[in-house]
Amino acid sequence: MSDDVSNEIRKDMGVSNVEAEAGGLAKYRKYVERALAMPGVVDALLITADQVVFDGRTYLKCMYGCTGWNNSWVCPSAPGALKPWEAEPLLRKYKAILLIHTHDKESSHKASLAIESEAFVDGYYFAFSLSDCSLCRNGCTYPGGEPCRFPQKARPAAQGMGIDVFATARGLGLPIKTLASASEEEQNWYSFVFIE
Helices 29-36 & 105-121 angle (0-180, nearest 10): 140
- Mind giving me the DSSP string for 41-93? EEEEEEE-GGGSPB-THHHHHHHHH-TTTTS-TTSTTSTTPPPHHHHHHHHTT
Q: Which pLDDT belongs to residue 4?
A: 42
* pLDDT, greater one: 147 or 37: 37
Using the CB atoms, write b or e for 132-143: b if 16+ within 10 Å. Answer: bbbbeeeebebe
Supply the pLDDT for residue 3.
41
pLDDT digits (tens, 9 = 90+) for 75-128: 888 888 899 999 999 999 999 999 999 999 899 999 999 999 999 999 999 999
pLDDT at 2 over 60: no
Query: For residue 1, what pLDDT is reported?
Result: 41
Res 99: pLDDT:
97
Percent of the chain with pLDDT over 70: 88
DSSP secondary structure string for all residues of 8-36: HHHTTSS--HHHHHHTT-GGGHHHHHHHH
141-173 per-position pLDDT tens digit: 888 888 889 888 889 999 999 999 999 999 999
Q: How confident is the model at residue 23 (pLDDT cuts 50, 70, 90)?
A: low
SS3 191: strand
Per-residue model confidence (pLDDT) at position 20: 52
pTM of the full structure: 0.86
Check whether 5 has a pLDDT greater than 50.
no
